[in-house]
Amino acid sequence: MGSGKCCVKKPLWHIFFKTFSFITLLLIFNTSINFAYANSITRSSKYSALVMDSSSGEIIYAKNAHELRYPASLTKMMTLYLTFEALASGKLTMNQKIVVSHKAALQTPLKLGVKAGEKISVRDCIYAAIILSANDAVVVLAEAIAGGEWSFAKMMTEKAKRLGMIKTNFANSHGLHDNNQYTTAADMAKLALALKKNFPQYYPLFSKTSFTYKGKVIKGHNHVTKKYEGAEGLKTGYIRTSGYNLVTTAKKTYGHLVGVVFGGPTAKARDDHMMNILDLGFCHISQKNGHYNPKCKNTPSIGTVSKGSPSNKDIFSVVEEQKPIRVASLDTKKFTSVKSKSSPVQNKKNIRPASSTKKSDSVSNINLKNKKHLKQNHSKKAVV
């Protein structure tokens, strides 16, 4: 005989209440996690960020946007700029095969795994640089364009100055740590705009998230490009001295944005933060222009630009070499050596940001003379 206890059916309201409570707890937990991520990023000494309206040049959000940071694999954006320039001039072709050098083959991962003496197409090198962030592939491109990575690094810095990236210096083509390789969030926004404006025929390649090499499908790790509606892609980056970096452009019916984030504690935190500030940026544009944006309901305003960041004026005029991008707050005074201890880059005594005067725009005035700095002297960790 049974115990007399029967399986009593619980009322629907009880089941609904328990389900509702569980979902609420999950939402609170998720919100708390996101809030913690946001705080851990913005409080970090490595953090800097910028969101800009590409059409007007208005700075919607900026924090530490002119402070020096290590670019990590964001460096590859300039490598690709010079590659696209070589393609446009006819110096290279997409199907051209390049012989892999011993130096390229010996690069630290992430890499494609090409062997010294084998040939690889320019197209595959570009795909590998964008999607896999392959260090060996970009060294192959650098050597094909300039004959050697040292000469290529000087070309990169010279091009940066011509594009108005006056606080940027390059020392290699891939982004592995070097004391003499540094940039700012504002400068990387300029480079993103220059790539989009000057190479519309190649810019869509940044939206690719996979490619096939030697019969194998290689998938990328730019999750913002995959997840965020309207994202056009660009580049991720990571080394221990920089944290997790990302540059993204995104387009929606009511506008186009450039977003830059430096110093994320994790890839997920960086990605979530980027998507959040892009959402807020699009809300700002849509509300400003009177467009309905369902995501903007009860969304707090982002309209604070921290002290020392770009002003809410045009960050650029025209992205051309003859008309460099301008940042209003930089046009009125020279840069001086940064003494703040807030940034790991700023603690390096041998780093001096370039002056905005013409004299400092020449490559000869940039501290690239010590070739041993071209070697990875801090982090052996992969640049992604």
* Residue of 203, 327, 179, 184 lying closest to 245 (CA atoms): 184
Residue 133 burial by Cβ neighbours in a 10 Å radius (0-12, 13-18, 19+) = buried
78-106 residue pLDDT tens: 999 999 999 999 999 999 999 999 999 99
Which of these is catalytic: 133, 242, 309, 356?
A: 133
The residue among 162 and 31 whose pLDDT is bigger is 162
Cβ neighbors of 297 (< 8 A, separation 6 or more) are none
The one-character DSSP state at 347 is T
325-342 residue pLDDT tens: 333 222 222 222 223 333
pLDDT of residue 39: 58
Catalytic (active site) residue 73: yes
pLDDT of residue 162: 97
Are 231 and 225 contacting, i.e. CB atoms less than 8 angstroms apart? Answer: yes
Residue 276 has pLDDT above 90, yes or no: yes
Q: What phi and psi values does residue 9 have, to the nearest 5 degrees?
A: -75, 120
Q: What pTM was computed for the model?
A: 0.74
Q: With cut-offs at 50, 70 and 90, classify the pLDDT of residue 288.
A: confident
123-155 residue pLDDT tens: 999 999 999 999 999 999 999 999 999 999 999
Cβ neighbors of 92 (< 8 A, separation 6 or more) are 83, 86, 122, 144, 145
The residue among 16 and 174 whose pLDDT is bigger is 174
Are 118 and 101 contacting, i.e. CB atoms less than 8 angstroms apart? Answer: no
Which of helix, strand or coil describes residue 219? strand
Separation of alpha carbons 191 and 188, rounded Å: 5
Residue 25 has pLDDT above 80, yes or no: no
CATH code reported for the domain at 48-374: 3.40.710.10
Which of these is catalytic: 46, 76, 111, 159?
A: 76
User: Among 22-26, 304-308, 335-339, where is mean pLDDT lowest?
Assistant: 335-339
Catalytic (active site) residue 76: yes
Which of these is catalytic: 44, 48, 73, 173?
A: 73
* Residue of 257, 302, 239 lying closest to 247 (CA atoms): 257
C-alpha angle with apex 303: 297 to 304, nearest 5 degrees? 140
Catalytic (active site) residue 207: no
Is the backbone peptide bond immediately before 50 cis, with ω within 30 degrees of 0? Answer: no
The CA-based diameter of the chain, rounded to the nearest angstrom, is 99
Distances (CA, A) of 67 to 64, 182, 359: 5, 10, 21
